[in-house]
């Protein structure tokens, strides 16, 4: 009996041993719990095939808590060896606090284009602190079976898009747009950052906001919010309580025709949906000739300055720059597009569809991320609230545009 | 003869005082201290050793109360929290009292069953309660549409948790449903304490059930009612978890369910892209502490001292 108790106590106490940094073992901190299988079953084994002595553990935190908990863990010295990096200012802050190492001396950094490195470099470009990993694209996914049943074709312009939605609504059997406003971040990212680049002309508009040449009160931002407001006519009744997982389920259960989203859903959707789905690019404004795709540098990975296994960690990071990793990652986690310059074969048809848009359209990144995302109140947070309120009808597009501009002008000199 | 110094008092008080000092008093005063400092959020001039924070006096409080971007959230959270508290006191306390009165009546059968069932939600995890109600009230998978539809009232359905006007009331009612068992238990225990002689005497004097309750029982348990109100006050102004579980930290829609607790958490720890701001967080925490302190003092001096306590 006494033996039994002691064994129980030991096994209970072992539950409380955190996976923090200690010798002989690399712990990766990430918010991508959806990818845990890919890491555990494909990526880490491939790495271990080459470096069998380095044990790698993939540890996740839920996405909305990631930034906060990573801050606390790094400050308290309990974070893992490798830190998955959010792009731009969030990670720059960690570097400025001295919590991430500079990776300038790492081999294999030539395998990335400059735009990929920009997301994790200091403003003057002198230090790179995270190895770029992957980007995600925005677009609309649609249920092919519903489109075939109703005889719909893929909409290209704004008026075609709403005409398509009207047809689905008239049929009455399916929710035209699977999106709600309860998770404000999801609404803003799938709406504003999705079709937005077509309104502000991609990189040109993004840079004009940073330099102050354009303001959020300019007509094209009001037009964008007006267009998003029209979405509310095509959402499910009571969309104000519909959360992001609700929308995902609505689409994967085959109850909705179109789902405004991003390429990161491909991986989970191809496992959950038992119908054929594909994607079409963000609609353009009527009469617009060029097109823009948001191809956001989304994931990088950095080295915790307090790590006790820096030598092993650097071996791992260098391996991440290789074509081998890029190919495994692109196919194990379809929808995350490796930022490497290696040419890679992607097998997933929906992921291929997303990639193909980049041939005809210019790419850009989210306009709230770089430089304008570092003040108080946080620009992303304001956009989340504004977009959801405009769709809920509690704010007009003009009021929303004015609120966004005012919050940026509060701290950002070029807009004052 | 000189009395010996009562050393045993110190010995007995020491453990409680020690733990209370380390875990309550010190953090409280340190929070107050931090609220007088400021720090650069991007950390560009921080070397992580010294000079991380600079002293700014009461500037943080000026920002919190008067700077438009902060004060909006502060006053909004305070207003919502007050409303949250008023709903609790005006709904939870009377219902708790009513149920306790029924339970203490001698004629009622299956008392134990009712008591357990009504108290049960209070023992459930708030995360589970939040999750269940999110599903119950969901526009896609919820049940009010079906229930209202069964009696032909489906037009009455609204996405209550998602509308600015109704979200806070809905969450308050969920919280009241969950915790109504606690005032019920306290009142029940207080009602049981009333000696039978008093009640029998009132009966002999010709009092019926209702007058006995109003003129005998209620005055006798008034101290417990007061205690319950102040416990609700402290609990409500510290509330955080139910909002977090149901609406997340943006306390949507448009911060209409934002309470002092969620406002503090968002400020101090940050949320999604918003970076945490420890010094402003400490300021919010200190302001919340002040609000609770004022409420408790008002209770102590204006209410508790005037309550008549009966000896029996």
What's residue A16's pLDDT?
45
Q: CB contact, 8 Å: B141 with chain A? A: yes
Judge: B271–A64 Cβ closer than 8 Å, yes or no: yes
Max intra-chain CA distance, chain A = 81
Contacts of A68 in chain B (CB under 8 A): 269-271, 276
Q: How far is B43 from chain A (nearest CA, A)?
A: 6
> Which of B41, B131, B139 to probe by mutation at the A interface, max A CB count within 10 Å?
B139
Angle at A320 between CA A297 and CA A302, to 5 degrees: 60
A chain contacts of residue B248, beta-carbon cutoff 8 Å: 64, 183
Closest CA to A380 of B43, B250, B76, B167: B250
Instruction: State residue A17's pLDDT score.
Output: 44
C-alpha separations of B39 from A381, B60, B249 in Å: 21, 11, 23
Query: Which of chain B's residues have a Cβ under 8 Å away from the Cβ of A239?
Result: 139, 159, 162
Q: How confident is the model at residue B51 (pLDDT cuts 50, 70, 90)?
A: very low
Q: State what percent of residues in chain B have pLDDT above 90.
A: 54
pLDDT at B45: 41
Asked if B275 is an interface residue toward chain A (Cβ–Cβ < 8 A), one would say: yes
Distance of CA A232 to the CA centre of its chain: 23
Supply the pLDDT for residue A88.
Answer: 87
Nearest Cα to A18, choosing from A96, A76, A63, A89? A76
**What is the predicted pLDDT for the residue at B48?**
42
> What pLDDT is attached to residue A392?
93
**How far apart are the C-alpha atoms of A126 and B274, rounded to whole Å?**
26
What is the distance between the alpha carbons of residues A282 and A357, in angstroms, rounded to a whole number?
10
Alpha carbons A372 and A101: distance in angstroms, whole number: 24
Task: Report chain B residues whose CB lies below 8 A from the CB of A187.
Answer: none
Measured CB to CB, residues of chain A less than 8 Å from chain B are 64, 67-68, 71-72, 86, 89-90, 92-93, 96-98, 180-185, 236-243, 246, 249-250, 373-374, 376-378, 380-381, 384-385, 388-389, 392, 394, 407, 410
Chain A residues inside the 8 Å CB shell of B130: none
CA distance A345 to A322: 14
Q: Which of B310, B168, B178 is nearest to B251 (CA)?
A: B168
Classify the phi-psi angles of B237: left when phi > 0, otherwise alpha if psi is within -120 to 50, otherwise beta. alpha
Q: Which of A92, A394, A410 sits opposite B254 (nearest CB)?
A: A394
pLDDT tens digit at each of 416 positions of chain A:
455 555 554 444 444 444 444 446 899 999 988 888 899 999 999 999 999 989 999 999 888 778 878 888 888 889 999 999 998 888 888 888 889 999 999 988 998 988 888 889 988 888 999 999 999 999 999 999 999 999 999 999 999 999 999 999 999 999 999 999 998 989 999 999 999 999 999 999 999 999 999 999 999 999 999 999 999 999 999 999 999 999 999 999 999 999 999 998 998 898 888 999 999 999 999 999 999 999 899 899 999 999 999 999 999 999 999 999 999 998 888 889 998 888 888 889 999 999 899 888 988 889 988 888 887 788 988 999 999 999 999 999 999 999 999 999 988 999 98
Q: How many CB atoms lie within 10 A of CB A6?
A: 10
Cβ distance A242 to B140 less than 8 Å, yes or no, reads yes
Contact between B259 and B82 (Cβ < 8 Å): no
Q: What is the DSSP string of A140-169?
A: EEEEHHHHHHTT-----BHHHHHHHHHHHH
In this prediction, residue A248 carries a pLDDT of: 93
Residue A2 CA to residue B111 CA, distance in Å, equals: 43
Report how many Cβ contacts below 8 Å link chain A to chain B: 130
Asked if A165 and A140 touch (Cβ cutoff 8 Å), the reply is: no
Strands A25-30, A82-85: parallel, antiparallel or unpaired by DSSP? parallel
**In contact, B252 and B1? CB cutoff 8 Å:** no
Interface with chain A: mutation pick from B48, B159, B164, highest number of A CBs within 10 Å? B159
Most confidently modeled range among A66-80, A401-415, B1-15, B296-310: A401-415
Residue B42 has pLDDT above 80, yes or no: no
What ipTM, to 2 d.p.? 0.79
Residue B50 forms contact with A (CB below 8 Å): no
**Tell me, what's the pLDDT at B254?**
86
Q: Choose the mutation target among A238, A252, A306 for the interface with B, i.e. most B CBs under 10 Å.
A: A238
Q: Is the pLDDT of residue B305 over 80?
A: no
| Sole residue written with tokens 């863990």 | A73
Residue A178 to residue A256: CA distance in whole angstroms: 6
CB-nearest to B274 from A98, A180, A378 is: A378
| DSSP letter (8 states) at residue A286 | T
Do A321 and A328 touch, CB atoms closer than 8 A?
Answer: no
**Residue B140 touches partner A, C-beta closer than 8 Å:** yes
Q: Which residues contact B10 (CB under 8 A, 6 or more apart)?
A: none
- pLDDT band at residue B41 using 50, 70 and 90 as cut-offs: low
> Which candidate from B42, B139, B250 shows the least CB-CB separation from A236?
B139
Confidence of residue B52 (pLDDT cuts 50, 70, 90): low
d(CA B75, CA B78): 5
The residue assigned the tokens 């890919």 is A38
Domains A15-136+296-348 and A137-295+363-415 share a fold: yes
**Which residues fall within 8 angstroms of residue A385, CB to CB, at 6 or more apart?**
A184, B250, B252, B254, B255
Residue B46 has pLDDT above 50, yes or no: no
- As a whole number, mean pLDDT of residues B102-124 equals 90
Q: If pLDDT is split at 50, 70 and 90, which confidence band does B44 have?
A: very low
Nearest to A241 among B69, B139, B272 (CB): B139
Distance, CA of A316 to CA of A307 (rounded, Å) = 13
pLDDT digits (tens, 9 = 90+) for B220-258: 998 899 999 999 999 999 999 999 999 888 887 889 999
Domain locations along chain A = 15-136+296-348, 137-295+363-415
Name the residue with tokens 């569809």: A353
Residue ranges of alpha helices (H) inside A237-322 are 244-252, 265-272, 310-320
From chain A, pick out residues whose CB is under 8 angstroms from the CB of B42.
89, 92-93, 96, 374
Report how far residue A322's alpha carbon sits from residue A111's, in angstroms, rounded to the nearest whole number: 8
- Is A249–B140 a contact, with Cβ atoms under 8 angstroms apart? yes
Other Cβ atoms closer than 10 A to B267: 25
Q: Cα separation of A298 and A189, whole Å?
A: 13
Name the burial class of residue A355, with classes exposed (0-12), middle (13-18) and buried (19+) by CB atoms within 10 angstroms of its CB. middle
Report chain A residues whose CB lies below 8 A from the CB of B52. none
CA distance A100 to A235: 43
The DSSP annotation for B143-196 comes to SHHHHHHHTT-GGG---GGGSTTTHHHHHHHHHHHHHTHHHHHHHHHHHHHS-H
Residue written as tokens 């990652």? A329
Contact A67 B273 (CB under 8 A): yes
- Cβ neighbors of B286 (< 8 A, separation 6 or more) are B31, B32, B35
All residues of chain B having their beta carbon less than 8 Å from the beta carbon of residue A399 are: none
- Contact at 8 Å (CB) between A382 and A404? yes
> Quick check: helix, strand or coil at residue A181?
coil
Which CATH architecture group holds A15-136+296-348? 3-Layer(aba) Sandwich (3.40)
Burial class (CB in 10 A: 0-12, 13-18, 19+), B237: buried
Q: B274-275 and B270-271 as β-strands: parallel, antiparallel, unpaired?
A: antiparallel
The pLDDT score that the predictor gives to residue A208 is: 94
User: What is the rounded CA–CA span in Å between residue A218 and residue A36?
Assistant: 43
What interhelical angle do A349-360 and A265-272 show, nearest 10? 150
Q: How far apart are CA A414 and CA A2, in angstroms?
A: 71
Residue A105: strand, helix, or coil: coil
Give the integer Cα–Cα distance in Å for A309 and B301: 60
List of domains in chain B: 68-306 (1.10.3720.10)
Q: Which of A298, A154, A181, A311 is nearest to A235 (CA)?
A: A181
Lowest mean pLDDT among A9-18, A294-303, B183-192, B299-308: A9-18
Residues of B (27-46) whose Cβ lies below 8 Å from A: 41-44, 46
Q: What are phi and psi of B110, to 5 degrees?
A: 55, 35
Distance from CA of A61 to the nearest CA of B (A): 12
> Least CB-CB distance to A380: which of B138, B140, B273?
B273
Q: What is the pLDDT of residue A6?
A: 53
CA distance B209 to B102: 11
> What CATH architecture does domain A137-295+363-415 belong to?
3-Layer(aba) Sandwich (3.40)
Q: Mutating which of A71, A240, A402 best tests the B interface, going by the most B Cβ atoms within 10 A?
A: A240
**Bridge partner residues of B149 (DSSP):** none
Q: Which residues contact A370 (CB under 8 A, 6 or more apart)?
A: A88, A89, A118, A119, A206, A210
Q: Which residues does chain A have within 8 Å of residue B251's beta carbon, measured at their own beta carbons?
A: none
d(CA A343, nearest CA chain B) in Å: 33
């Amino acid at each position: 009996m006494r033996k039994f108790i002691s064994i129980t106590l030991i096994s209970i106490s072992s539950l409380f041993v955190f996976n923090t940094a200690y010798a002989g073992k690399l712990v990766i901190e990430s918010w991508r719990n959806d990818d845990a299988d890919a890491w555990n079953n494909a990526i880490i084994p491939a790495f271990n095939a080459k470096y069998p002595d380095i044990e790698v553990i993939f540890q996740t935190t839920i996405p909305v808590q990631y930034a906060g908990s990573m801050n606390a863990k790094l400050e308290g010295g309990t974070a893992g060896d490798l830190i998955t990096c959010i792009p731009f200012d969030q990670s720059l802050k960690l570097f400025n606090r001295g919590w991430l190492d500079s990776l300038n001396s790492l081999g294999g950094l030539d395998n990335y284009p400059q735009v990929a490195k920009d997301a994790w470099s200091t403003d003057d470009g002198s230090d790179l602190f995270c190895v770029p990993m992957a980007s995600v694209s925005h677009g609309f996914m649609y249920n092919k079976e519903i489109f075939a049943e109703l005889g719909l074709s893929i909409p290209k312009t704004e008026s075609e898009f709403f005409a398509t939605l009207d047809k689905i609504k008239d049929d009455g059997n399916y929710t035209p747009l699977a999106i709600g406003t309860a998770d404000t971040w999801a609404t803003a990212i799938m709406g504003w950052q999705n079709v937005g680049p077509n309104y502000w002309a991609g990189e040109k508009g993004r840079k004009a906001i940073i330099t102050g040449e354009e303001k959020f009160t300019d007509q094209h931002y009001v037009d964008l919010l007006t267009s998003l407001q029209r979405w509310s006519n095509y959402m499910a009744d009571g969309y104000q309580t519909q959360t992001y997982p609700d929308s995902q389920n609505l689409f994967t259960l085959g109850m909705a025709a179109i789902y405004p989203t991003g390429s990161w859903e491909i991986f989970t959707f191809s496992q959950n949906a038992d119908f054929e789905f594909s994607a079409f690019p963000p609609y353009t404004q009527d009469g617009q000739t060029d097109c823009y795709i948001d191809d956001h540098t989304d994931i990088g990975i950095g080295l915790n300055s307090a790590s006790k296994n820096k030598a092993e960690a650097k071996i791992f990071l260098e391996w991440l720059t290789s074509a081998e990793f890029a190919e495994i990652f692109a196919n194990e986690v379809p929808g995350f597009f490796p930022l490497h310059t290696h040419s890679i074969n992607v097998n997933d048809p929906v992921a291929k569809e997303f990639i193909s848009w980049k041939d005809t359209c210019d790419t850009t990144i989210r306009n709230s991320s770089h430089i304008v995302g570092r003040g108080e109140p946080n620009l992303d947070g304001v956009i989340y609230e504004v977009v959801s309120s405009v769709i809920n009808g509690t704010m007009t597009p003009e009021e929303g545009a004015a609120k966004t501009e005012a919050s940026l002008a509060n701290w950002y000199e070029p807009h004052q | 003869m000189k009395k010996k110094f009562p050393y045993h008092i110190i010995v007995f008080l020491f453990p409680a005082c020690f733990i209370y000092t380390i875990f309550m008093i010190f953090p409280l005063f340190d929070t107050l201290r931090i609220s007088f400092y400021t720090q650069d959020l991007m950390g560009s001039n921080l070397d992580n050793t010294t000079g991380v924070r600079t002293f700014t006096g009461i500037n943080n409080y000026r920002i919190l109360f008067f700077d438009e971007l902060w004060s909006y959230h502060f006053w909004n959270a305070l207003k919502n929290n007050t409303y949250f508290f008023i709903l609790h006191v005006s709904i939870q306390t009377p219902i708790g009292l009513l149920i306790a009165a029924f339970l203490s009546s001698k004629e009622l059968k299956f008392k134990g069953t009712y008591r357990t069932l009504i108290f049960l939600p209070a023992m459930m995890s708030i995360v589970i309660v939040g999750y269940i109600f999110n599903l119950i009230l969901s526009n896609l998978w919820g049940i009010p549409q079906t229930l209202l539809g069964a009696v032909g009232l489906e037009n009455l359905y609204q996405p209550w948790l998602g509308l600015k006007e109704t979200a806070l009331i809905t969450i308050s009612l969920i919280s009241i449903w969950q915790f109504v068992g606690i005032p019920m238990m306290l009142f029940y225990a207080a009602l049981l304490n009333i000696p039978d002689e008093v009640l029998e005497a009132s009966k002999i004097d010709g009092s019926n059930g209702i007058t006995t309750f109003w003129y005998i029982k209620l005055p006798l348990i008034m101290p417990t009612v007061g205690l319950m109100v102040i416990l609700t006050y402290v609990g409500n102004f510290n509330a955080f978890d139910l909002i977090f579980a149901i609406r997340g930290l943006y306390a949507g829609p448009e911060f209409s369910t934002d309470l002092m607790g969620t406002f503090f958490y968002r400020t101090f720890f940050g949320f999604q892209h918003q970076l945490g701001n420890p010094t402003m967080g400490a300021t919010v925490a200190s302001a919340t502490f002040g609000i609770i302190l004022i409420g408790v003092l008002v209770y102590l001096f204006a209410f508790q001292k005037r309550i008549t306590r009966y000896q029996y």
